[in-house]
C-alpha cells in the first residue's frame, strides 16, 4: 500500500487574503495555522483553538498542523519567569490535543525567526521571489547595527563587499534591509526597533552554541513527556538561514544537530519539521541521507527549493529547481511513509509572486496563492509519477 503525503497549505487566519476556499480549490485538504493573535508566552485558550478549528472545518478542511506555538525568548535564554512560560507552553499543548490538533511545529532560533533581505526579487521571467543577500546582512551588522566586534565574524572579502554596498546603496535600499531584518516576516514571533534589537542581542552575550543547545535539551526534557501523554508530535523547524547571524548561535542547522536532538531525547514525539529549503541552503547537508536517517522522527514537511551561490546568497527557486533534488527527496519520503504506514502532512512553502498576484497588495510575502498552487501541483505531479512508475 502506498501512503501519499497529506497535502496542506498555510493559512494565517481570517485576515489572510488567501481564503480557505482558495486553498481547497488548489487541491489541499489540510490547513497549517496558528493563533498569531495570542501574545507570545501566553496559554492558547481552548475557546480560541475551538473557534479556529471550526472555521477550518466549515470549509471542508482539517487543521493538521500548528505552525507555530512560539517558544518565548526567556525560555531560550532560561531567564526571568521562564519556568512559568514553560508551564504555559505545556498547557497550550494540552489544549490543542483536547481539540484534536496533534502536530506542533516550532523553532528555537534566537531573537529572529526566518530572515531575508529582499521580499520581491525579480526573476528573469518577471515573477518575484524571496532572497537573502549576504553582503546586505553584513552591512546591516557592521554599519547600521554596529555590533561590537562584529568584524571578527567576517572575512576581509565579506567586509569589503558589505562596505561597498553600504556606501553606494540608496536610502530606500538601506531602509529595506533594516525593515526586513527587524520587523519580522510572516509567522515570525516578534518585530524590533534597532534599539530593541540591540538590547535583545545583549541577552545572548554569554550564550554560545553549546549553551543554547543545552537550553533546548532542557526545554524538550520538560515538554516531550507532556506531548507524549497527550498524543502530540513536536516538530522542530530548522534554522533559516541555517548558520549563525549577528553573533547569534544556531543549533538546528545540520544533520549533526538533528542527531544531537534525538540523542538527547530519543522519543518519537520529539521530532522534526523537515524543511528542504532551510536545510538545502547548506551544501554539506545531504537531504536524501537525512530523510533516510531521521525519517522515523519526521512529523511535518516543508517542500521548497533554494538556490545558493558561493558568496552565501540564496533565493527561493521554483519548487523543482534550485539546489534541492526534489524528486529524489520526495521518493525517500514516500519510502519512509510506506515503512511507517503513515501520511505525513506536507505543505509547499514560499511560492513565487506571479501572474495577477503581481498586481495585488501583498500582506504575507512568500505566501501568495498562485505560486504555492504551482508548487503544490508540481509536487503532486512528482509524487503521482513516482508511484505510477513503481519507484516507490
The reply to whether 319 belongs to the active site is no
Of the candidates 388, 382, 290, 302, the one whose C-alpha atom is nearest the C-alpha of residue 336 is 290
Catalytic residue among 269, 302, 319, 352: 302
Catalytic residue among 113, 350, 352, 357: 350
Catalytic residue among 237, 269, 299, 352: 237
The reply to whether 367 belongs to the active site is yes
**Using CA atoms in the order 253, 186, 314, 351, what is the torsion angle rounded to 10 degrees?**
110
DSSP string for 44-59: --HHHHHHHHHHHHHT
The reply to whether 357 belongs to the active site is no
Catalytic residue among 275, 297, 299, 317: 275
Whether 224 and 234 have beta carbons less than 8 Å apart is answered as: yes
Helices 287-294 and 255-264 sit at what angle, rounded to 10 degrees? Answer: 10
Catalytic residue among 154, 204, 279, 367: 367
Q: Give me 281's grid cell.
A: 541552503
Catalytic residue among 297, 349, 352, 357: 349
Q: Name, in order, each residue with C-beta under 8 angstroms of 244's C-beta and a sequence gap of 6 or more.
A: 153, 209, 250
Element (DSSP H or E) covering residue 135: helix 134-139
Q: How far apart are CA 70 and CA 352, in angstroms?
A: 26
Q: How far apart are CA 39 and CA 41, in angstroms?
A: 6
Please state whether the peptide bond connecting residue 241 to the residue before it is cis, i.e. omega within 30 degrees of 0.
yes
Task: Give per-residue burial for 276-286: e unless 16+ CB within 10 Å, then b.
Answer: bbbbbbbeebe
Indicate which residues carry an active-site annotation.
Answer: 237, 275, 302, 349-350, 367
Amino acid at each position: 500500500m502506498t501512503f501519499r503525503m497529506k497535502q496542506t497549505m498555510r493559512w494565517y487566519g481570517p485576515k489572510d487574503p488567501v481564503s480557505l476556499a482558495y486553498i481547497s480549490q488548489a487541491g489541499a485538504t489540510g490547513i497549517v495555522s496558528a493563533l498569531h493573535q495570542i501574545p507570545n508566552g501566553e496559554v492558547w485558550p481552548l475557546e480560541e483553538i475551538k473557534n479556529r478549528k471550526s472555521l477550518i472545518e466549515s470549509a471542508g478542511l482539517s487543521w493538521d498542523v500548528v505552525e507555530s506555538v512560539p517558544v518565548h525568548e526567556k525560555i531560550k535564554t532560561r531567564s526571568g519567569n521562564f519556568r512559568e512560560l514553560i508551564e504555559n507552553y505545556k498547557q497550550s499543548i494540552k489544549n490543542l490535543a483536547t481539540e484534536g490538533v496533534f502536530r506542533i511545529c516550532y523553532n528555537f532560533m534566537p531573537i529572529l525567526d526566518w530572515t531575508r533581505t529582499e521580499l520581491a526579487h525579480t526573476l528573469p521571467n518577471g515573477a518575484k521571489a524571496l532572497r537573502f543577500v549576504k553582503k546586505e546582512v553584513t552591512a546591516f551588522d557592521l554599519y547600521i547595527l554596529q555590533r561590537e566586534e562584529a568584524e571578527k565574524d567576517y572575512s576581509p572579502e565579506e567586509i569589503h563587499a558589505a562596505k561597498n554596498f553600504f556606501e553606494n546603496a540608496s536610502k530606500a535600499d538601506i531602509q529595506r534591509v533594516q525593515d526586513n531584518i527587524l520587523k519580522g516576516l510572516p509567522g515570525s514571533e516578534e518585530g524590533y526597533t534597532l534599539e530593541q534589537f540591540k538590547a535583545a542581542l545583549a541577552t545572548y552575550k554569554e550564550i554560545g552554541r553549546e549553551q543554547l543547545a543545552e537550553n533546548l535539551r532542557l526545554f524538550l526534557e520538560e515538554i516531550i513527556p507532556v506531548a507524549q501523554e497527550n498524543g502530540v508530535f513536536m516538530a522542530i523547524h530548522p534554522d533559516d538561514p541555517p548558520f549563525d547571524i549577528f553573533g547569534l548561535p544556531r543549533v538546528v542547522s545540520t544533520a549533526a544537530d538533528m542527531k544531537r536532538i534525538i540523542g538527547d531525547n530519543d522519543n518519537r514525539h520529539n521530532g522534526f519539521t523537515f524543511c528542504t529549503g532551510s536545510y538545502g541552503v547548506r551544501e554539506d547537508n545531504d537531504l536524501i541521507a537525512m530523510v533516510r536517517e531521521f525519517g522515523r522522527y519526521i512529523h511535518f514537511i516543508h517542500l521548497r527549493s533554494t538556490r545558493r551561490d558561493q558568496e552565501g546568497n540564496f533565493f527561493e527557486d521554483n519548487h523543482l529547481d534550485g539546489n534541492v533534488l526534489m524528486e529524489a527527496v520526495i521518493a525517500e519520503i514516500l519510502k519512509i511513509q510506506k515503512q511507517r504506514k503513515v501520511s505525513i502532512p506536507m505543505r509547499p512553502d514560499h511560492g513565487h509572486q506571479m501572474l495577477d498576484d503581481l498586481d495585488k497588495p501583498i500582506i504575507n510575502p512568500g505566501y501568495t496563492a498562485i505560486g504555492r498552487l504551482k508548487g503544490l501541483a508540481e509536487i503532486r505531479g512528482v509524487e503521482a509519477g513516482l508511484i505510477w512508475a513503481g519507484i516507490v
